[in-house]
């Protein structure tokens, strides 16, 4: 064992002083000396962000603020803990809502109060023994060396580790995260040939979804849920797949059942709200968005889109004053968030237009435009589509189309974004025009990209790179342009020798690609190639 239980760094999170003291005394009696405590979710997140813990013992209910589920969720999302960290959730509750909600963020174990020292010691010793073999994998992931992380998985599997299923699952997640779908599919098939496992079958569904084989994906997710109705990940993916198949009513039905089983996920409530709104089920949408806002208050998934979506529902229900109140709340909650300000201003523009207040509507849209200009291309597709939707409502079709052209060009391979844009045009009776805009915008990017690649293949690496540099400046979110430019720069380094300036440019491009899509396969290939050429970072 790489780390003995007594050497572990432990964090205890509980809002009751008495419980913190008792748990601290328990682990100290076991011989552990490095023990920290936290009394709130905020305090816990701060400590997790600055310290490396091997074991976290966290109460589910932490009083006002984030609960244990949200603390774990944030720790995972922000990379404060890795696959080798032991996380034990402690609770006195046994309700389905709590159990399902906590289970979705995958703690390593649950302990029901009251707890005694013997039980705690037995559980922790077993868990840390099982989890410590994951430490080399975690170290490779933190170093962004995913090839090494996958290799370490294979090392553990060959050594006949005590937790092969856990290693296989980690390996599959790494393969999916790096875009190596063929290897992931082979891994899932090898597992499923032995026995049907929900996570492996769901993984096969994800690969079908990625390959745009939506009916196959749907069949797989339905198969998972027939045997395991509470496997929430499959429910979420089934709903996404139904949406891509234009089966919005079925997507809503799937999500209704999912939130009945596990209602404490703000992201799932938001998905339900979006599906219901598309279907015109405004009461269902309103309830779902209101729950999203309430549940998201201390969640890492708290987002302005829940507020603007609720405002749209109120507007469609002919309640513009309620819509404006919701948008005012969004302004207070996301005071320093530029994207939130853009979304809110665009939504206000639509509401004021509905109220017949043309001056206020124009002023709100002008504010949205100014904020977009200041953001210098750093506006997400979701926000840009929201602004375009408001332009359409104000009769400013040209501005809407201009925005949507840029969205397609920056995301020309993203089927879900194209689907949302198609739906927006359809809503305004412009289906054919929308399809033409999407096709033309895609073709423009493909032409530029192909021209740059052709120059490079003809030996003019610099000419190709300069062409793609110009395109990348105009299309800062185009994953294809960014990664191909990076490939040309690495080609220049291979041909002409080391250049810290070019290498720095390539690293910046790689970071932008990672931010856009960490599963881009070439991202990992080019990162390894750049490190090899430049002799490491």
**Looking at 196-205, 374-383, 454-463, which range is the least confident one?**
374-383
Q: Assess if residue 83 is contained within a domain.
A: yes
Radius of gyration over alpha carbons of the chain, in Å? 25
Evaluate if residue 530 carries a pLDDT over 60: yes
Q: How confident is the model at residue 130 (pLDDT cuts 50, 70, 90)?
A: confident
Percent of the chain with pLDDT over 90: 77
DSSP string, 214-276: HHHHHHHHHHHHHH-TT-HHHHHHHHHHHHHTT-HHHHHHHHHHHHHH----HHHHHHHHHHH
Which residues form the domain of 485? 444-534
Q: What is the DSSP letter of 7?
A: G
- In the predicted model, is pLDDT for residue 411 greater than 70? yes
d(CA 285, CA 312): 10
Determine, yes or no, domain membership for 402: no
Would you state the pLDDT for residue 166?
A: 92
Task: Pick the last residue of a domain from 106, 129, 152.
Answer: 129
Residue 208 domain-assigned?
A: no
For the chain, what is the mean pLDDT? 92
Bridge partners, residue 91, by sequence: 112
Q: Which of 129, 161, 176 is the last residue of a domain?
A: 129
Q: How many domains does the chain have?
A: 2
Does position 532 have pLDDT exceeding 60, yes or no? yes
How far apart, in whole angstroms, are the C-alpha atoms of residue 225 and residue 239? 12
- Mean pLDDT of the 285-292 span: 98
Q: How many residues does the chain have?
A: 537
CATH number, domain with residue 70: 3.40.50.2300
**What average pLDDT does range 6-24 have in this prediction?**
93
pLDDT at 453 over 90: no
Last residue of a domain, one of 105, 129, 153: 129
Q: Is the pLDDT of residue 536 over 60?
A: no
- Other beta carbons within 10 angstroms of residue 369's beta carbon come to 18
Is residue 70 assigned to a domain?
Answer: yes
In a domain, 308, yes or no: no
- Helices vs. strands in the chain: H and E counts, helices first: 27, 5
State residue 519's pLDDT score: 77
Quick one: how far is CA 258 from the chain centroid? 19
With a cut of 90, say whether residue 481 has pLDDT above it. yes
Give per-residue pLDDT as tens, 211-223: 999 999 999 999 9
Please, what's the b/e burial string for 239-277 (b: 16 or more CB within 10 A of its CB; e: otherwise)? Answer: bbbbbbeebbebbbebbbebbeebbbbbbbbbbbbbbbb
Q: Report the distance separating Cα 530 and Cα 498, nearest Å.
A: 10
Residue 442, burial from CB neighbour count under 10 angstroms (0-12, 13-18, 19+): middle
In a domain, 286, yes or no: no
34: β partners: 9
Residue 289 has pLDDT above 60, yes or no: yes
Residue 414 lies inside a defined structural domain of this protein: no
pTM (predicted TM-score):
0.89
Q: Per the domain annotation, does 330 fall within a domain?
A: no
CATH number of 481's domain? 1.25.40.10
């Amino acid at each position: 064992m790489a780390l003995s239980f007594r050497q572990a760094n432990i964090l205890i999170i509980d809002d009751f002083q008495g419980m913190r003291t008792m748990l601290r005394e328990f682990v100290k009696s076991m011989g552990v000396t490095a023990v920290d405590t936290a009394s709130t979710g905020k305090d816990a997140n701060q400590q997790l962000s600055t310290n490396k813990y091997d074991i976290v013992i966290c109460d589910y209910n932490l009083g006002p603020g984030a609960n244990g589920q949200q603390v774990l969720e944030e720790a995972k999302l922000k990379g404060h803990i890795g696959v080798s960290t032991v996380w034990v959730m402690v609770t006195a509750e046994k309700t389905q809502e709590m159990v399902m909600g906590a289970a979705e963020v995958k703690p390593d174990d649950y302990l029901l109060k009251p707890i005694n020292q013997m039980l705690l010691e037995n559980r922790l010793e077993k868990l840390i023994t099982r989890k410590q073999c994951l430490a080399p994998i975690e170290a490779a992931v933190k170093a962004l060396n995913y090839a090494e992380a996958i290799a370490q998985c294979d090392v553990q599997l060959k050594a006949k580790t005590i937790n092969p299923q856990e290693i296989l699952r980690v390996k599959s997640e790494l393969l999916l995260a790096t875009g190596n779908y063929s290897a992931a599919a082979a891994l899932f098939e090898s597992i499923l040939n032995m026995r049907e496992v929900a996570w492996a079958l769901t993984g096969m569904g994800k690969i079908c979804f990625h390959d745009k084989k939506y009916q196959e994906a749907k069949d797989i997710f339905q198969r998972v849920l027939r045997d395991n109705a509470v496997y929430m990940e499959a429910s979420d993916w089934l709903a996404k797949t139904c949406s891509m198949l234009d089966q919005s009513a079925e997507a809503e039905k799937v999500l209704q059942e999912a939130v009945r089983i596990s209602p404490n996920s703000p992201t799932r409530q938001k998905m339900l709200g979006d599906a219901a709104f598309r279907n015109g089920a405004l009461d269902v949408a309103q309830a779902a968005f209101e729950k999203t806002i309430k549940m998201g208050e201390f969640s890492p998934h708290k987002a302005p889109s829940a507020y603007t979506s609720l405002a749209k529902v109120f507007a469609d229900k002919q309640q513009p004053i309620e819509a404006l109140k919701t948008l005012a709340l969004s302004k207070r909650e996301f005071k320093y968030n530029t994207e939130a300000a853009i979304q809110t201003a665009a939504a206000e523009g639509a509401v004021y237009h509905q109220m017949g207040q043309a001056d206020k509507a124009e002023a709100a849209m002008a504010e949205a435009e100014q904020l977009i200009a200041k953001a210098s291309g750093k506006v997400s597709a979701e926000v840009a589509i929201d602004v375009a939707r408001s332009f359409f409502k104000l009769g400013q079709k040209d501005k809407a189309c201009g925005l949507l052209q840029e969205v397609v060009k920056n995301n020309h391979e993203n089927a879900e974004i194209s689907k949302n844009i198609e739906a927006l045009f359809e809503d305004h009776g412009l289906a054919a025009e929308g399809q033409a805009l999407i096709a033309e915008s895609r073709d423009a990017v493909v032409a530029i990209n192909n021209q740059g690649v052709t120059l490079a293949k003809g030996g003019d690496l610099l000419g190709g790179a300069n062409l793609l540099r110009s395109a990348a400046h105009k299309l800062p979110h185009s994953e294809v342009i960014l990664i191909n430019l990076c490939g040309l720069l690495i080609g220049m380094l291979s041909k002409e020798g080391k250049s810290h300036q070019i290498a720095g440019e390539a690293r910046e491009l790689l970071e932008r690609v990672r931010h856009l899509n960490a599963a881009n396969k070439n991202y990992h290939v080019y990162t390894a190639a750049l490190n090899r050429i430049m002799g490491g970072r």
